[in-house]
Structure 1
Amino acid sequence: MTDTQPAVNDRDATVEVEQLDFTGVPVLRIRPARARAHTALLHFHGGGYRQGSPQIFSDSVARIAVACRTQVFSVGYRLSPQSAFPAAVDDAVTAYVSITEQIAPNRLVLWGDSAGGGLAAALMLRLRQLQIPAPSGAFLFSPWADLRNTAGSFAENAMTDERFSLDKATEAAASYLAGHPATDPLASPVLGDWAGQPRIVLQASDSEVLRDDSLLLARIATDAGVDVRLKLHNGVPHIWNLAYPSTPASEQAIDYMVEQLGEMLDPIVRA
């Protein structure tokens, strides 16, 4: 099914929305009218691995896709408790492999927010295990990247983060893992070997409970030799980026995403 609709009030902001199926994994393709040719973002939504869908996030994704001038494939991965770990990772691999039959890996960039950011990070590790060519890079917005949930920011920012908490993280992790150890790097990517991975662009808030997940992942990946770009924003809520362009903070975050995406893709497109 294909639908065409305006993402924002701008003649260049029309997007085509199409529901696809990649070997049983539903994917929503959102294609702006002025998208770069033969490039894409592969998006994984948040929701603690137990809530959310590409449709729920489609408006935010469409607005960001227009800003990035890049089509987005948003993955409807399986959720817990009906489908526990590693179902989401398996679906991410299936979607990636299917998309790279159309778009070269070096023209594809991962993007995930919250649990989706953790899933995008896990996908990078899993692709290397499977010896599948890596994407050009990844954007991780406030990734939930450590399902042990032992970070100090859970307590430090408990009063300033209204969208996530230690209690919610504990419940969501138990539902998703279903007894599997949180120390598995495909569940907690901060515990993985990041050597040889492409650029990672991390954005998080200094006042959210997942702040330390971003800081730890940035340190681990940097120590492994990865090109990590970390921006820690002041006093904004969890996943404020998705409010683009309704707040100055979300505009700043997506402007940085646009800049970094251009560095990743424009030289390849021009080649």
Structure 2
Amino acid sequence: MIERVSKQGAVSLRRLLARHMARTAGKTVMSPENPRQIARKRMDAGADRLPTPDDVKIESTTLAGLNALSFTPDDHRPGLLLFLHGGGYCLGSPKSHRPLVTRLAKALKIKAVSVDYRLAPEHVFPCAVDDGAAALNWAMTHSDGPVLIAGDSAGGGLALASILRQREHGRPLPQGVYLISPWTDMTASGESTHTRAKSDPMLKPDWLAAGAALYLEDTPADTPEASPLFADLSGFPPVFIQTGDAEILRDDSIQFAEKLEQAGVAVQCEIWDALWHDFPLFAPLLPEADMALDRLTQWAEPILTPSSN
């Protein structure tokens, strides 16, 4: 099911501030014109600008040979959320997405882990998939309850690629998938790549192309583990997608949701009017981001409650 979520009231000061923050992040972090090591430090530092709940314990840990952060709410139930961060496969870390994962863990009332997978261009495809798949296999063997895998942007694509790898090896799959503005198509076949180029404050089409080139190197862009849109999606667990109508990756979500439906997979895809790439990252500054997380918890509750397992 693809659902359009209407614009929530008049333009607010908080929305304007969040949009300004998104535009600034695009120019100072996501643009390939920025030196990569500086951009990575800036992206991590950006996490300090958003408050995090103080009733979630955050600790450094390792899993499957990867550095990670763990998030344990004071009030939690059995289950685990595995989060794979975005950043175009070249940027990002568990630290950069700490505010979001903290809120996800608290909202879902389960433990979460966010892993530090290898980044391009130092480590090209399929290194990130190797790490994501190893983390997912760890989660499936160590969780005390249902497992959700989640990711934003490139992390969304990586979450899907990790499921593909897990399925290829005949291993158990997670009980649900949460994707924020997922990058599912490195061939950039969606029209929104061009039609939303001016409305998206966070991303630009040429930035996507530059990131894809660094990550893929000589790998064809339509390789399923790089572009899950071209994969066989049969047998996938239920998927919940949230994306903005004003972002260049909008069609990555729509086309992927349509393909999931064709494969008989339960999918709920929300297209939020007037919002941009990765907008749930801006909770609690952006009111719609908080609303999006509320809708996630409604979707996930039947998966996480004991009666449904």
TM-score, reference length from structure 1: 0.92
Deviations 1:127-168 (A, max 9, x none): 111111100010011000001122210110011001111101
Q: Are the equivalent residues in 1 in contact too, given 2:137–2:166 (CA < 8 A)?
A: no
Once the two structures are superposed, the pairs formed by residues 66-145 of structure 1 within 5 Å of their partners are: 66-103=106-143, 107-145=146-184
Structure with bigger RCO (C-alpha 8 Å, 6+ apart): 2
Match of 1:26 in 2: 67
* One-letter code aligned to 1:64: L
Partners of 2:249 and 2:304 lie apart in 1 by 29
CA offset at residue 61 of structure 1?
1.5
* One-letter code aligned to 1:71: K
* One-letter code aligned to 2:52: A
Partners of 1:257 and 1:155 lie apart in 2 by 29
CA offset at residue 46 of structure 1?
0.6
Partners of 2:110 and 2:59 lie apart in 1 by 15
Query: Out of 226, 239, 248, which is 1:200 matched to?
Result: 239
Deviations 1:55-102 (A, max 9, x none): 111122212321221211101110000000011110011111222222
Query: Out of 248, 267, 273, which is 1:234 matched to?
Result: 273
Q: Are the equivalent residues in 2 in contact too, given 1:117–1:142 (CA < 8 A)?
A: yes
Match of 1:171 in 2: 210
Partners of 1:68 and 1:22 lie apart in 2 by 21
Is residue 264 of structure 1 aligned with residue 298 of structure 2? no
Partners of 2:304 and 2:105 lie apart in 1 by 14
Q: Are the equivalent residues in 2 in contact too, given 1:154–1:210 (CA < 8 A)?
A: yes
Match of 1:3 in 2: none
Match of 1:7 in 2: 52
Q: Are the equivalent residues in 2 in contact too, given 1:199–1:227 (CA < 8 A)?
A: yes
Match of 2:27 in 1: none
Q: Are the equivalent residues in 1 in contact too, given 2:192–2:248 (CA < 8 A)?
A: yes
Once the two structures are superposed, the pairs formed by residues 242-261 of structure 1 within 5 Å of their partners are: 242-261=281-300
Partners of 1:24 and 1:266 lie apart in 2 by 30
Q: Are the equivalent residues in 1 in contact too, given 2:281–2:289 (CA < 8 A)?
A: yes
CA offset at residue 206 of structure 1?
0.8
Q: Are the equivalent residues in 2 in contact too, given 1:64–1:244 (CA < 8 A)?
A: no
Give the RMSD, CA atoms, in angstroms: 1.5
Is residue 162 of structure 1 aligned with residue 207 of structure 2? no
Is residue 53 of structure 1 aligned with residue 53 of structure 2? no
Match of 1:212 in 2: 251
* One-letter code aligned to 1:28: L
Match of 1:189 in 2: 228
CA offset at residue 23 of structure 1?
3.4
Partners of 1:129 and 1:102 lie apart in 2 by 20
* One-letter code aligned to 1:14: D
Partners of 2:282 and 2:242 lie apart in 1 by 14
**Residue 142 of structure 2: SS of its match in structure 1?**
coil
**Residue 223 of structure 2: SS of its match in structure 1?**
coil
Deviations 1:19-40 (A, max 9, x none): 111232112111111111x201
Partners of 2:253 and 2:296 lie apart in 1 by 16
Q: Are the equivalent residues in 2 in contact too, given 1:29–1:74 (CA < 8 A)?
A: yes
CA offset at residue 14 of structure 1?
1.1
Structure 1, unpaired ranges of 5+: 1-5
Q: Are the equivalent residues in 2 in contact too, given 1:45–1:74 (CA < 8 A)?
A: yes
